Amino acid sequence: MYVVVMSSTALHEPTFLILAALAEGRKHGYGLIAEAEALSDGRVTLRVATLYTALDRLRKEGLIAPAGEEVIDGRLRRYYELTDEGAATLTQEITRMEQLAARATIRLQHRPGFAFGWAGGAWA
């Protein structure tokens, strides 16, 4: 009998951005930094310390896997790719975010004094 392990703990933003950046295909460390910055409209700059510790952690968890090494212009690139489990985790995280965002939006619209989008929004 199998037991499905539900981690259920929400991903932190840097971790989410790494998985999302890898969804398109394999990338190396510095490529991930650029992709995460693009994904967040320049809001988030992945720090190298965050990146490499996260890559190591995610690899141990089986969400990503090494996908070859190349030397470009004399510099080593270590590539990573999403595993099927990583893609599943990302999908689950997306669902969580969408659902929470939708529910929070509804509650905000029920907020006492909510202005309904126009100035001085009283019913009369």
Partner DNA sequence: TCGATATGTATCGGTGACTGATGTATGTTG
Partner DNA sequence: CAACATACATCAGTCACCGATACATATCGA
Q: Which of 20, 46, 64, 82 binds DNA (CB under 7 A)?
A: 46
CA dihedral 124→103→41→68, nearest 10 degrees, is: -170
C-beta of residue 45 within 8 angstroms of C-beta of residue 18: no
AA identity, residue 6:
M
- Of 42, 74, 117, 120, the one binding DNA (CB under 7 A) is 74
Taking the complex as a whole, the smallest distance from the CB of residue 112 to DNA amounts, in Å, to 19
Q: Which of 43, 57, 96, 103 binds DNA (CB under 7 A)?
A: 57
Q: Residues 28, 77: contact at Cβ < 8 Å?
A: yes
- Write out the residues near DNA by the rule CB under 7 A: 9, 11-15, 28-31, 46-50, 52-57, 72-78
